[in-house]
Amino acid sequence: MGGEGMVNEDRVRSLVAGLDDPVVVLDRERRLVAASPAGAAALGDPAPGRRVGEDAGGAIVLFIGDLPELTAYEELRAGFTAAVSHELRTPLARLLSLLEMATLPDAEVQPLLEQAQQEVEQARELIDDVLFLGQLESGREVVALGPTQAVPILREVVVALADRAEHAEITLQVVGGEEIALPLRPRMLRVVGENLVANSIRYAGPGSTCRASVAQSDGLATLTVADDGVGLGPEDRIRIFERFYRADTARTSRGTGLGLAIVKHIVTSAGGTIEATGAVGEGLAIRCAFPA
């Protein structure tokens, strides 16, 4: 049976190799079996056995055997679409209300327009995060690996978020050895740092301190962003990496609800792990660990 499968795959490769169109052939687990020359160019990485996402670079996708099970994926996509629609309705409804108020007699137009601008920014941030997460999950935005010294990037993050932190009355700190590197390119490391620090700024509460630290020991390089703020209970901590999940204390936040989901995707795609610890009234710490 296995020998017959090998012969069939060889035949498939031989047939596909002579095609002019961009064609890729996958097994039921979406692993690459064969690709025409144009299909290989569309993929970029035509290594046999690698998993191919839904996009496939625009190539024509053929399957050996039965089609892969898509029901769970379709359900997830439908749920995600519904959640995005719901999240977008909130700033758009507030925007419409503000604009209607601005048309009323004796309305203070300037403050209402400033609030409307904030709602537009909220919708823009949400759309940007949705698109970025979609690119990550489809493989179009690759989590490029490569050692990057973390402390300089984290210092840049702190400078960029300084005004926001001052407004929220949060003190930001960066600690760790300058030589410690994490296996992420600067862009992805910056995305991780910005989302983790912004999460503390948004939820820790006035008077709190947020510390971004890097360390290396026991074969692991770690990035931890911890605050001494309001914290979360165990039922919330295990869900904070879900898309659009917000604890009860965070429901009025201006965040998009996707920042920690993006962080988790980047960290796990780079071979790392992520966990949240802490307790109500004792702050929150999010630790990302990578093989050193």
pLDDT tens per residue across span 15-55: 778 777 788 888 777 788 888 888 888 888 778 888 887 66
pLDDT at residue 256 greater than cutoff 80: no
Mean pLDDT value of segment 97-115: 86
Give the per-residue pLDDT at 252: 47
Give the per-residue pLDDT at 7: 43
pLDDT at residue 251 greater than cutoff 50: no
Task: Pick 87 or 260 by higher pLDDT.
Answer: 260
pLDDT at residue 6 greater than cutoff 50: no
pLDDT at residue 254 greater than cutoff 80: no
Q: How confident is the model at residue 4 (pLDDT cuts 50, 70, 90)?
A: very low
Residue ranges, comma separated, of all CATH 3.30.565.10 domains in the chain are 148-291
Task: Pick 3 or 98 by higher pLDDT.
Answer: 98
Q: How confident is the model at residue 5 (pLDDT cuts 50, 70, 90)?
A: very low
Residue ranges, comma separated, of all CATH 1.10.287.130 domains in the chain are 71-138
pLDDT at residue 287 greater than cutoff 70: yes
User: Which whole-number Å values give the CA distances from 126 to 74, 92, 181, 256, 278, in the listed order?
Assistant: 22, 12, 30, 5, 27
pLDDT at residue 78 greater than cutoff 80: no
CA distance 195 to 155: 14
Percent of the chain with pLDDT over 90: 28
Architecture of domain 71-138: Orthogonal Bundle (1.10)
Lowest mean pLDDT among 26-30, 88-92, 238-242, 285-289: 88-92
CB 229 within 8 A of CB 275: no
Percent of the chain with pLDDT over 70: 76
Lowest mean pLDDT among 44-48, 261-265, 282-286: 44-48
**pTM: predicted TM-score of the whole model, two decimal places:** 0.56
CATH, range 148-291: 3.30.565.10
pLDDT digits (tens, 9 = 90+) for 125-154: 777 767 767 666 665 555 667 788 999 999
Give the per-residue pLDDT at 3: 45
Mean pLDDT value of segment 69-87: 54
CB 17 within 8 A of CB 33: no
Give the per-residue pLDDT at 21: 74
- Find where tokens 């053929």 sit: 62
Q: How confident is the model at residue 166 (pLDDT cuts 50, 70, 90)?
A: very high
CB 144 within 8 A of CB 188: yes
**Mean pLDDT for the chain?**
80
Give the per-residue pLDDT at 138: 60
Task: Pick 55 or 284 by higher pLDDT.
Answer: 284
- Buried b / exposed e across 9-37, counting CB within 10 Å, b at 16+? beeeeeebeeeeebbbbbbeeeebbbbbb
